[in-house]
């Protein structure tokens, strides 16, 4: 039986659009099927230091390879972030060239110091739910009783969220 992993991509440092597009190409290496890819979105920073640049965000769906675990995929995502120039955090939610968040991995649930699945705030974030709604509107994140499309409709209006051409 196949299942999918969903990864949110974000960038607000450097050529964000190019960085996200290159990350999507790299993420194909981790999937047994073609990726499902949302549009790119420009979004206002959330819970970031004052004056933080706008983000470019997207969400992809991939089919993990047979022996992949959420933890092994997380290690690969963190390595990609470092390769893109991400530095260890000095300030919470500071600008970064690449941020890859594992939103869901099938129906897996984790709560360890390294990984919380599903992502603990994905269901509250327009910059995740907007792109996710494009590729998986009927997805039920583990622990949620409402599908992505309904979660998105019920969010209060917030900040700038524009689909990029």
Which residue is catalytic, options 15, 32, 47, 86? 86
Exposure on the CB side of residue 117, measured as CA atoms within 13 A: 19
Bridge partners of 100, per DSSP, are 9
pLDDT confidence tier of residue 135, bands split at 50, 70 and 90: very high
| pLDDT tens, residue by residue, 84-112 | 988 877 777 788 999 999 999 999 999 99
Average pLDDT, whole number, for the chain?
93
Q: Residue 111: what pLDDT? A: 96
Q: Pick the catalytic residue: 61, 99, 125, 126?
A: 99
pLDDT value at 163 more than 90: no
Helix axis angle for 16-27 and 70-83, nearest 10°, is 140
Q: How is 84-149 classified by DSSP, letter by letter?
A: TTPPPPSSTT---S-EEEEEEETT--EESSS-EES-TTGGG-HHHHHHHHHH-TT---TT-SS-HH
Does residue 157 have a pLDDT over 90?
A: no
Across 56-79, average pLDDT: 96
Whether 126 is catalytic: no
Q: Which residues contact 121 (CB under 8 A, 6 or more apart)?
A: none
Q: Which two tokens stand for residue 146?
A: 């409402």
Q: Which residue range(s) make up the domain with 157? A: 5-163
Active site residue 99: yes
pLDDT, tens only, 1-40: 579 999 999 999 999 999 999 999 999 999 999 999 999 9
Mean pLDDT of 73-83: 96
DSSP string, 6-25: EEEEEE-SSSHHHHHHHHHH
Q: What is the CATH number of the domain that holds 42?
A: 3.30.70.560
DSSP 8-state assignment for residue 152: H
Note if 65 is an active site residue. Answer: no
Q: Is the pTM of this model over 0.75?
A: yes
pLDDT of residue 29: 95
pLDDT at 100: 97
- Is the pLDDT at 79 greater than 90? The verdict is yes
Task: Please name which of 162, 163, 158, 134 lies closest in space to residue 148, comparing C-alpha atoms.
Answer: 134
Separation of alpha carbons 71 and 114, rounded Å: 8
The C-alpha atoms of residue 125 and residue 122 are separated, in whole angstroms, by: 5
Provide the pLDDT for residue 165. Answer: 74
pLDDT for residue 94: 81
The alpha carbon of 133 is separated from its chain's Cα centroid by a whole number of angstroms, namely: 12
Q: Looking at residue 92, what is its pLDDT?
A: 73
Rounded-to-integer distance, Cα 164 and Cα 113, Å: 35
The question of whether 96 is a catalytic residue gets the answer yes
At 65 the pLDDT is 94
Quote the number of domains for the chain: 1
């Amino acid at each position: 039986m196949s299942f999918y992993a969903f990864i949110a991509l974000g960038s607000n440092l450097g050529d964000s659009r190019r960085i996200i597009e290159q990350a999507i190409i790299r993420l194909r290496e981790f999937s047994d099927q073609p990726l499902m890819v949302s549009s790119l979105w420009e979004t206002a920073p959330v819970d970031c230091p004052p004056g933080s640049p706008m983000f470019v965000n997207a969400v992809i769906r991939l089919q993990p390879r047979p022996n992949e675990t959420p933890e092994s995929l997380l290690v690969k995502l963190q390595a990609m972030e470092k390769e893109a120039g991400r530095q260890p955090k000095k300030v919470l939610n500071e600008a970064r060239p690449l941020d890859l968040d594992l939103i869901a991995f099938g129906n897996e649930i984790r709560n360890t110091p390294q990984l919380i699945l599903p992502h603990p705030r994905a269901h509250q974030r327009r910059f995740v739910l907007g792109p996710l709604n494009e590729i998986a509107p009927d997805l039920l994140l583990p622990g949620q009783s409402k599908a992505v499309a309904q979660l998105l409709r019920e969010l209060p209006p917030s900040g700038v969220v524009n689909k990029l051409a």
